[in-house]
Amino acid sequence: MLETPMRELLAEYPSARRALFSHFHIGGCQSCAFSEDDSLGAVCKQHDIDAEKAQQAILTSHEEEQALLITPGVLAKKLAAAEPPVLVDSRTREEHDAVAIPGSILLVESTLAELSQDVEQEIVFYDHRGLSVLDHVSWFRGHGLKNTFALKGGIDAYSQDVDPALPRYRLEID
């Protein structure tokens, strides 16, 4: 792991950037930035960080994030249950209006207040490809809603694995 370029490491462990920033304050702002071409070992040396501790933080963060993800198949079963989770779309209004998982609600300011009312309810967030949705899950869990999860792979994976009638699309920023 220490010789792996950060670009590859971040692809394999998407939570690595958050873990490095939260544990060591590196990679989150211009003054503590790193090049994605540098290896993890080089980044640790540059910022005077214990490499073993950095590796452990990345691995622990990855394991913790995996526990927050549910697969499209599991979500489909939950949505068919007598008491389905609240399904929240964290994409833009335009994306939601174009294609959405049936029964989902769009994340807007009023949604935040509504969802915060019942800390026991199960909530599942989704985005386009599952790349940024964990930020929302972390925010809600941090505010006491511990039964909050993210759809692994987003609506794109859901349309491939569960509901092929949902049109797939590509964003220029993907």
pLDDT tens digits, 67-110: 999 999 999 999 999 999 999 999 999 999 999 999 999 999 88
Residue 148 lies in a domain: yes
Residue 170 lies in a domain: no
CB within 8 Å of 170: residues ≥ 6 apart: none
> What whole-number distance in Å separates Cα of residue 151 and Cα of residue 134?
9
pLDDT beyond 80 at 172: no
DSSP annotation of 39: B
φ/ψ of residue 4, rounded to 5 = -75, 130
Residue 1 lies in a domain: no
In this prediction the pTM is: 0.77
What integer pLDDT is reported at residue 165 of this predicted model?
Answer: 94
Same domain for 76 and 62, yes or no, is no
Query: pLDDT category, 173, cuts 50, 70, 90?
Result: low
Give the structural domain span for 83: 69-161
| Domain end among 33, 66, 99 | 66
Residue 134 to residues 122, 146, 174, Cα–Cα distance (Å): 15, 13, 17
Residue 149 lies in a domain: yes
Nearest to 4 by CA among 41, 35, 34: 41
Would you state the structure tokens that stand for residue 162, as one six-digit string? 């569960």
88, amino acid identity = V
Would you state the structure tokens that stand for residue 143, as one six-digit string? 């505010």
Lowest pLDDT segment from 74-83, 131-140, 141-150: 131-140
What integer pLDDT is reported at residue 53 of this predicted model?
Answer: 96
Residue 10 lies in a domain: yes
> Which CATH number covers residue 136?
3.40.250.10
φ/ψ of residue 40, rounded to 5 = -60, -40
> What whole-number distance in Å separates Cα of residue 157 and Cα of residue 119?
28
Same domain for 118 and 153, yes or no, is yes
What is the overall mean pLDDT for the chain?
Answer: 91
Number of domains comprising the chain: 2
% of the chain residues with pLDDT over 70: 99
Mean pLDDT (whole number) for 6-29: 87
Residue 30 lies in a domain: yes
% of the chain residues with pLDDT over 90: 64
Same domain for 16 and 44, yes or no, is yes
